[in-house]
Every structure is written in C-alpha cells, then in structure tokens.
C-alpha cells in the first residue's frame, strides 16, 4: 500500500491524457469532414488524428486501465458490497468510455481512407459523449456513492444536449 498514492497519481495523469484525446479527436473529425474538399488541410488533419490516437490516446487508455486494475488489486475493498456500488457504477461507465475510444479509432480509419458517411454535426454531437460519461465518473468518485437520480438526470441532460447539437442547422443555412 505504500506505493498506492504513486499509482493513483499515475492513474490520474493517464486519465487526463486519455480524456484529452477523447475530447479533441472528434473535434478533428468535424474539421476533417467539413473541409473534405481542401486536400492539403485534410492531409494535415489525418496526421493529427493518427498521432493523437496512436501516441497519446491509446497508450493513455491502457495506462489508465492497468493502473486502475493495480489499485483495485491493492485495495479490493473498493469492490466489496460495503461501498454502496459506486465503484461498480464507475467501472461500468469506464467500460463505455473504452468502447467509445475504440469507436474513435474505427471512425479514424474510415476517415483515413475517405470511406465515411458521418456528418460534422454527428461528430459534434459525438464529442459530447465523453463529457457526459466523465461527469458520471467524477460524481461517483468524489461522492463515493451511486445515486440513481444523479445518473438519470445526467444522462437525460446529456441526451438532450447531444440531440440539440446533432440537429443544429449548418452555419450556411442560418
């Protein structure tokens, strides 16, 4: 346990790096899709997309998973029924973040070969997902509780934001 706080420090830094990729990569996809006729610009964005995923996002995700697993191994009490289930809820949301992260790689590969059907609005809306999931995780970790009301309210507000962003009119139409 003497190394626990050092592992926690590493875990937090890994999460921050992973979240940076999760927040920024869909934004690059918006630029990519909305500037598809500007080849030189798209070529630069493709390089950025590749590097942020392969050199920052994926390694940070694995560092987050591994350091988190080590902390759970060192402190198995967090998974006991006595904690109120907040860690189980957090791990479920982390699972969704992992799926989201892999989906970003799928979209990156489609964009790389210019075989995509998603719009800029789709990626703008998709960009809201990690914020909603991060809010749930931070809420569970800070309060050390699982609140169904907090979870439902967060998901409903998040779904409303995603809906509004997805359905916004293009700037040219305003």
Mean pLDDT (whole number) for 22-34: 96
pLDDT value of residue 2: 83
Give ∠ CA 46-52-55 in degrees, rounded to 5: 120
Q: 82-100 burial string, b = 16+ CB within 10 Å, else e?
A: eeeebbebbeebbeebeee
Binding-site positions read 11, 90
Binding-site residue numbers for heme are 11, 90
Q: Please determine, for residue 91, whether its predicted confidence score (pLDDT) is greater than 90.
A: yes
Contact present, 15 and 5 (Cβ < 8 Å): no
Domain that holds residue 140: 4-173
pLDDT in the model for residue 171:
62
CA-atom Rg of the chain in angstroms? 18
Calculate mean pLDDT across residues 59-81: 95
Distance CA 74, CA 36 (A): 49
State the average pLDDT over residues 149-170. 93
pTM: 0.90
- Amino acid 169: pLDDT: 82
The per-residue pLDDT for range 109-132, each reduced to its tens digit, is 999 999 999 999 999 999 999 999
* For residues 12-24, average pLDDT: 97
In Å, how far are 73, 98, 105, 119 from 21, measured between CA atoms? 27, 12, 11, 20
Q: At what angle do helices 86-112 and 39-51 cross, to 10 degrees?
A: 150
Higher-confidence residue: 173 or 122?
122
Instruction: Give the least confident one: 79-83, 92-96, 136-140.
Output: 79-83
The whole-number pLDDT of residue 174 equals: 35
- Rounded-to-10 torsion of CA 22, 102, 53, 3: 70
Q: What is the pLDDT of residue 9?
A: 96
pLDDT at 173: 38
Q: 122: which residues sit within 8 A by CB, 6+ positions away?
A: 166
Among candidate residues 94, 122, 155, the one with its CA nearest the CA of residue 26: 122
Report how many domains make up the chain. Answer: 1
Max alpha carbon distance in the chain (Å)? Answer: 60
């Amino acid at each position: 346990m003497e190394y626990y706080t050092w592992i926690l420090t590493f875990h937090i830094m890994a999460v921050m790096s992973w979240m940076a990729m999760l927040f920024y990569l869909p934004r690059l996809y918006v630029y990519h899709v909305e500037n598809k006729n500007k080849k030189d610009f798209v070529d630069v964005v493709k390089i950025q997309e590749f590097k942020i995923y392969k050199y920052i996002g994926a390694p940070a995700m694995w560092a987050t998973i591994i350091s988190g697993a080590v902390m759970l191994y060192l402190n198995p009490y967090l998974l006991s029924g006595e904690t109120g289930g907040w860690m189980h809820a957090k791990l479920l949301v982390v699972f969704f973040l992992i799926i989201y992260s892999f989906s970003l790689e799928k979209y990156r590969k489609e964009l790389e070969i210019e075989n995509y059907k998603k719009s800029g609005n789709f990626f703008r809306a998709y960009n809201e997902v990690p914020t909603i999931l991060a809010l749930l995780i931070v809420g569970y970790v800070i309060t050390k509780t699982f609140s169904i009301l907090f979870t439902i309210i967060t998901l409903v507000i998040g779904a409303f934001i995603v809906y509004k962003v997805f359905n916004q009119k293009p700037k040219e139409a305003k």
